[in-house]
A and B are shown apart, each in its own frame.
Chain A
Amino acid sequence: MSEQSLGEFEELVLLVVAANNSEAYGVLILEQLSAKLDKKLNISAIHVVLKRMENKGYVESSFGGITNERGGRRKKYYSITSLGKRVLDRQYELRTSIYQQIPKISFGQ
């Protein structure tokens, strides 16, 4: 587990990548995340996390075709790897299993 760590922000980005599998690229992730979190994010923060996860092997990337948008630069699409999926699943299981242990707590108003 210690080898395959996943930070909170990394997890969020990985989720977005998985949700838009092989359609996800920098700006798209940025827009979706800032909409969900209702918070301004910087593109380079996304880049940092993407590159880090690519090094860890959670995501892989490939270039799209050349279009007229973006000053002619290609998009780089990210998709989740099977390792990434496993890490994500484990994270999810871990959370839900602990969450389910929470007894019914009443906070009586």
Chain B
Amino acid sequence: MKPQPPKRALRFLRWFCREDYLEEFEGDLIELFEQLHAESPKSARRKFFWGVLRCFRPGFIKAFYQVKYSITTAMFKHNLLITLRNFKRYKSSFLINLTGLSVGLLSALLIYFWVYSEVTVDAFHEKDEQLYQVMRYSDYGQGIRVHDNNSDLLVPALKAEIAEIEYAALYVEVWSEVYLSLGEKKIKADGMLAGEDFFKIFSYNLVQGDRDRALVDQNSIVLSKKMAESLSADQEVELGKVVSILGETEYGARYAGDYVVTGIVDLSTQNVSERFDFLLTEKLFLNKRSEGNGKWNSNSSRTYVTLHKDTDVEQFSEKLAAFFRNKRYPDNSTKSPEWGEHMFLEKYSKRYLYNRYENGVQSGGRIDYIILFSAIGLMVLLVACINFMNLSTAQAFRRLKEVGVKKVVGASRPMLALQHITESVILAGMASLMAVFGAIALYPKLSIISGRDILVNWTPELVLGILSIVLITGLIAGSYPAFFISRLRPIQILKGKLKTSVSEVVVRKGLVVFQFCVSLILIVTVMVVTKQIEYTQSKNLGYERDNVLTFPMEGKLLENQEAFLVEAKKIVGIQNATMLEGSAANFRNSGGGRPRKGMPSISFTFARVGYDYVETLGIEMLEGRSFSRDFANEESKIILNETSVKAMGLENPIGKTYDIRGKREVIGIMKDFHFQSFHQEIKPSFLILVPEDANTIAVKVQAGLERETLIELEELYHTFNPNLPFEYKFLDQDYEELYGAEQSTAKLYKYFALVAIFISCLGLLGLAAFTVQTRLKEIGIRKVLGSNVWRIISLLSRDLTQTVVIALVISMPIGYYLTQQWLDGFAYRIDLTSGIFITSGAVVVLLAWSIVALQAMRAAKANPVECLKDE
């Protein structure tokens, strides 16, 4: 018997191949198969399959269904053709429409990406539903303050005494960066100390190591994958390797020693709010904690817990609160049940977005920005849709005759609507394709602006979101022109009399007014935000932040502070040098007290500093003197600011002694200066001399000598710390960080405002061009009868002026209200002058007017013969 070719391949060939070709192809293939089969059956079968597959090409495939040439398909084809011809014929309208819609969609999609990535932060943990952070608030009669840290006794007590708790772990910052080293490599890293249950509570991606055992032994260390990779230049970092923490920074000294790597966490693939380079263990923390911790009134650590499933959270919260009160105030002798400290729960995944409390009440946080930008995205999209609607409707007027003839011949309303919907859908489809590709290409850039890595995991929800944005936009934008046109009456159209009802005019004018309003509000707010940020940068702060550079005290510097400062001052370009704790631009220490019997209790914000602080920062002294080496016992003295003197109600305080963090003699009064951001009022404040606590050196460099001075300073630094890098910052950088959120938001905001204005202008351009075109004959006749160019221009822009005026009236109060709200967040701020509103109004009016005038000018200058010669 003859060899049989593979049946399945043959059946496939017969299924798809054109009947008139089939026999020939089959025959040829079989002949070849038979020839080859004699040599090698296997390869013959393979070749046969391959041959069949090669035949599977458009020219050889049969028509699978008979196209019925019904009217619907014919009309569809016809509509498609007309659509494409129209795009080609009115290129400028087509391009304006396409650009407007795609730019609008692009911005909306980008915002959607950003919002999505922000909203899904920390939501990936498997136990998300059960995962809570234990929070605390305190009420000592001066307003409620919320704290996210607790005593380190809490975790063991919770585990032992409360049944609902499944896992609990404490989480403590290693307060400064430390040097991690492996072999020759030495890298600065930010770390945390975490409880044993950490990896059972959180679903961080532990790529190497055991979730149960990673944080148990005291000498364990878990590294982030990024850190592990940067450490592993000469040797691969893996489990069991020994990594050292060097004692050269302030907190490095506390945890210095060798640690065994017990795990590596990959944080880059998950949307994580809290990043760390390494984790140490709870045991280590408990062994090394400072005195004062280990009591119920301490607050060293954050506490994360998971509850058992089906726990009633409300009941549990009450139980927890009672539990804490018993521990904190065991003798229960406190004044009232409201007074003092209380405990409450907050869902962990909500913490990132809802991170601000005002007087104990949750009052937004990052969610505000999300709402703000979602609103902007929606506005931009709406403006783009309106544009599209207006332009398409206008465009359709050019084709009224077509519609009229079609109606006379018998086209039904749905049919006409369908035609215009097809057109809109095609255009919207093109725009959305462009927008989607643009958004995918651009969204990584957003992280540069927003200051946070944007991590987008392509989940079905995300894709669904994108699709619905695109579809809804297409539908909204496409439906209005379609229904508007299909409703027109054929006789009127063909007679050339088009009476539009009042409501239609109102709708269309209203849409344009709305567009202008959005643009105006955006311009006003952008201007106010920019001005306020400029103000924070330019206002005299009461100290000099230019040419002051700061760097952390590390290594040998910690022991030889004075020697270093003495040497530093010898460098020619250095005018003065001092040391301080924390940052000069942002005082963080606070403490309350009753400076004398009979005085009110005052809460101070203060700084621990070294000698020459006042001089280096150029703070003005009103009275008295600053700390000086010429006097003895300076550590027990104090310098107040004006506000504290006022708050305490003092007269001539110099030389007197008050009880502020111990008995202290006042030696000087400083003029008020801004030691915090402009959001806060200047508070009662003071300086005390505690050189031992200083961790930062500040140096005032002479202007113009920065470069030489820095080189010398670096050399000096390296004579003390030959192995550490010299990393400095300028104080104005520090200062700018205070407004980081505002600045990045303002930047993002500006971009989107520009986009919205751009789209509005495009729309206006399209409309103006259209109006001019429809009135070409009228213009021609007017010119023939003796009208001049300017009268024609003013005639054509009369409508527009009306629209703009209405928009101005509506938008200015809204803009005023919104910016006022925002400025209320600043204690020091610009005044809302009428200048801002006038300028932004003028910008919009001029822009609109020039667009229309340009179009009108072109029409008015044309020779009337050109437009009157035909017909």
B28 contacts partner chain A, Cβ-Cβ < 8 Å = yes
User: How many angstroms from the CA of A71 to the CA of B6 in the assembled complex?
Assistant: 13
Which residues of B16-73 have CB atoms within 8 Å of chain A's CB atoms? Answer: 21, 23-32, 34, 50-51, 54-55, 57, 59-60
Extra inter-chain contacts (13) besides given A42-B50, A71-B2, CB under 8 Å: A25-B24, A26-B28, A27-B28, A30-B28, A44-B25, A47-B24, A47-B55, A70-B31, A70-B34, A71-B27, A73-B26, A73-B30, A75-B27
User: How many angstroms from the CA of A74 to the CA of B29 in the assembled complex?
Assistant: 12
Question: What 6 pairs between A and B have smallest CB-CB spacing?
Answer: A73-B27, A44-B54, A26-B28, A76-B24, A70-B27, A71-B30
User: How many angstroms from the CA of A63 to the CA of B50 in the assembled complex?
Assistant: 25
Which residues of A3-43 have CB atoms within 8 Å of chain B's CB atoms? Answer: 25-27, 30, 42-43
* Across-interface contacts of A27 in B (CB, < 8 A): 28, 31-32
* Across-interface contacts of A42 in B (CB, < 8 A): 50-51, 54
Contact between A26 and B24, CB atoms less than 8 A apart: yes
A35 to chain B, nearest CB (A): 14
A-B contacts, 23 of them at CB < 8 A, read: A26-B24, A27-B28, A27-B31, A30-B32, A42-B54, A43-B29, A44-B54, A45-B54, A47-B24, A47-B60, A48-B59, A51-B59, A52-B59, A63-B23, A70-B28, A70-B30, A71-B2, A71-B27, A71-B30, A73-B23, A76-B23, A76-B24, A76-B27
B48 to chain A, nearest CB (A): 10
Nearest CB to that of B22 among chain A residues?
A73
* Across-interface contacts of B54 in A (CB, < 8 A): 42-45
* Across-interface contacts of A76 in B (CB, < 8 A): 23-24, 27
* Across-interface contacts of A52 in B (CB, < 8 A): 59
Contact between A25 and B21, CB atoms less than 8 A apart: no
A38 to chain B, nearest CB (A): 18
Contact between A48 and B57, CB atoms less than 8 A apart: yes
User: How many angstroms from the CA of A48 to the CA of B28 in the assembled complex?
Assistant: 13
Which residues of A29-87 have CB atoms within 8 Å of chain B's CB atoms? Answer: 30, 42-45, 47-48, 51-52, 63, 69-71, 73-76
A5 to chain B, nearest CB (A): 17
User: How many angstroms from the CA of A71 to the CA of B21 in the assembled complex?
Assistant: 16
* Across-interface contacts of B21 in A (CB, < 8 A): 47, 51
* Across-interface contacts of A48 in B (CB, < 8 A): 57, 59
Nearest CB to that of B52 among chain A residues?
A44
Nearest CB to that of B33 among chain A residues?
A71
* Across-interface contacts of A43 in B (CB, < 8 A): 28-29, 32, 51, 54
B47 to chain A, nearest CB (A): 9
Q: Mark each residue of chain B from 616 to 643: 1 if its CB lies under 8 Å from any CB of chain A, else 0.
A: 0000000000000000000000000000
B211 to chain A, nearest CB (A): 56
Contact between A44 and B31, CB atoms less than 8 A apart: no
User: How many angstroms from the CA of A87 to the CA of B29 in the assembled complex?
Assistant: 30
* Across-interface contacts of B2 in A (CB, < 8 A): 71
User: How many angstroms from the CA of A45 to the CA of B28 in the assembled complex?
Assistant: 12
Task: Name the residue in B2, B26, B29 with the highest tally of chain A Cβ atoms < 10 Å from its Cβ.
Answer: B29
* Across-interface contacts of A70 in B (CB, < 8 A): 27-28, 30-31, 34
* Across-interface contacts of B51 in A (CB, < 8 A): 42-44
* Partner among A25, A30, A44, A63 whose Cβ is within 8 Å of the Cβ of B55: A44
Contact between B30 and A47, CB atoms less than 8 A apart: no
User: How many angstroms from the CA of A57 to the CA of B29 in the assembled complex?
Assistant: 25
* Across-interface contacts of B28 in A (CB, < 8 A): 25-27, 30, 43, 47, 70
Identify the A interface with B (CB < 8 A).
25-27, 30, 42-45, 47-48, 51-52, 63, 69-71, 73-76
Task: Name the residue in A26, A30, A47, A74 with the highest tally of chain B Cβ atoms < 10 Å from its Cβ.
Answer: A47
Which residues of B739-758 have CB atoms within 8 Å of chain A's CB atoms? Answer: none
B783 to chain A, nearest CB (A): 51
The SS class assigned to the A binding surface is helix
User: How many angstroms from the CA of A42 to the CA of B50 in the assembled complex?
Assistant: 9
User: How many angstroms from the CA of A74 to the CA of B59 in the assembled complex?
Assistant: 21
A74 to chain B, nearest CB (A): 6
User: How many angstroms from the CA of A70 to the CA of B60 in the assembled complex?
Assistant: 21
* Across-interface contacts of A74 in B (CB, < 8 A): 23-24, 27
User: How many angstroms from the CA of A42 to the CA of B29 in the assembled complex?
Assistant: 10
User: How many angstroms from the CA of A76 to the CA of B29 in the assembled complex?
Assistant: 13
B377 to chain A, nearest CB (A): 51
Nearest CB to that of B56 among chain A residues?
A44
Nearest CB to that of B24 among chain A residues?
A76
B41 to chain A, nearest CB (A): 16
* Across-interface contacts of B31 in A (CB, < 8 A): 27, 69-70
* Across-interface contacts of A26 in B (CB, < 8 A): 24-25, 27-28
* Across-interface contacts of A30 in B (CB, < 8 A): 28, 32
* Across-interface contacts of A44 in B (CB, < 8 A): 25, 51, 54-55, 57
B408 to chain A, nearest CB (A): 43
* Across-interface contacts of A63 in B (CB, < 8 A): 23
* Across-interface contacts of B23 in A (CB, < 8 A): 63, 73-74, 76
B9 to chain A, nearest CB (A): 13
User: How many angstroms from the CA of A40 to the CA of B537 in the assembled complex?
Assistant: 76
Nearest CB to that of B54 among chain A residues?
A44
User: How many angstroms from the CA of A51 to the CA of B28 in the assembled complex?
Assistant: 14
* Across-interface contacts of B29 in A (CB, < 8 A): 43
A65 to chain B, nearest CB (A): 12
User: How many angstroms from the CA of A47 to the CA of B2 in the assembled complex?
Assistant: 25
Nearest CB to that of A45 among chain B residues?
B54
* Across-interface contacts of A73 in B (CB, < 8 A): 23-24, 26-27, 30
Task: Name the residue in B26, B27, B29 with the highest tally of chain A Cβ atoms < 10 Å from its Cβ.
Answer: B27
User: How many angstroms from the CA of A45 to the CA of B32 in the assembled complex?
Assistant: 14
User: How many angstroms from the CA of A63 to the CA of B21 in the assembled complex?
Assistant: 11
User: How many angstroms from the CA of A74 to the CA of B5 in the assembled complex?
Assistant: 17
* Across-interface contacts of B26 in A (CB, < 8 A): 71, 73
B700 to chain A, nearest CB (A): 81
* Partner among A45, A47, A71 whose Cβ is within 8 Å of the Cβ of B25: A47
User: How many angstroms from the CA of A70 to the CA of B59 in the assembled complex?
Assistant: 24
A84 to chain B, nearest CB (A): 19
A14 to chain B, nearest CB (A): 18
B645 to chain A, nearest CB (A): 97
Nearest CB to that of B23 among chain A residues?
A73
Nearest CB to that of A78 among chain B residues?
B24
User: How many angstroms from the CA of A44 to the CA of B56 in the assembled complex?
Assistant: 9
User: How many angstroms from the CA of A70 to the CA of B51 in the assembled complex?
Assistant: 15
Task: Name the residue in B2, B25, B31, B51 with the highest tally of chain A Cβ atoms < 10 Å from its Cβ.
Answer: B31
A41 to chain B, nearest CB (A): 11
B51 to chain A, nearest CB (A): 6
B20 to chain A, nearest CB (A): 10
* Across-interface contacts of A75 in B (CB, < 8 A): 24, 27
User: How many angstroms from the CA of A26 to the CA of B32 in the assembled complex?
Assistant: 10
User: How many angstroms from the CA of A27 to the CA of B29 in the assembled complex?
Assistant: 8
Q: Mark each residue of chain B from 224 to 256: 1 if its CB lies under 8 Å from any CB of chain A, else 0.
A: 000000000000000000000000000000000
User: How many angstroms from the CA of A73 to the CA of B23 in the assembled complex?
Assistant: 6
* Across-interface contacts of B24 in A (CB, < 8 A): 25-26, 47, 73-76
* Across-interface contacts of B59 in A (CB, < 8 A): 48, 51-52
A56 to chain B, nearest CB (A): 13
Nearest CB to that of B28 among chain A residues?
A26
User: How many angstroms from the CA of A47 to the CA of B24 in the assembled complex?
Assistant: 9
User: How many angstroms from the CA of A74 to the CA of B2 in the assembled complex?
Assistant: 17
User: How many angstroms from the CA of A46 to the CA of B225 in the assembled complex?
Assistant: 57
User: How many angstroms from the CA of A48 to the CA of B23 in the assembled complex?
Assistant: 15
* Across-interface contacts of B60 in A (CB, < 8 A): 47, 51
User: How many angstroms from the CA of A51 to the CA of B25 in the assembled complex?
Assistant: 11
User: How many angstroms from the CA of A25 to the CA of B26 in the assembled complex?
Assistant: 13
User: How many angstroms from the CA of A45 to the CA of B55 in the assembled complex?
Assistant: 9
A26 to chain B, nearest CB (A): 4
Task: Name the residue in A26, A48, A70, A76 with the highest tally of chain B Cβ atoms < 10 Å from its Cβ.
Answer: A70
A9 to chain B, nearest CB (A): 15
B666 to chain A, nearest CB (A): 99
A79 to chain B, nearest CB (A): 15
* Across-interface contacts of B55 in A (CB, < 8 A): 44, 47
B146 to chain A, nearest CB (A): 75
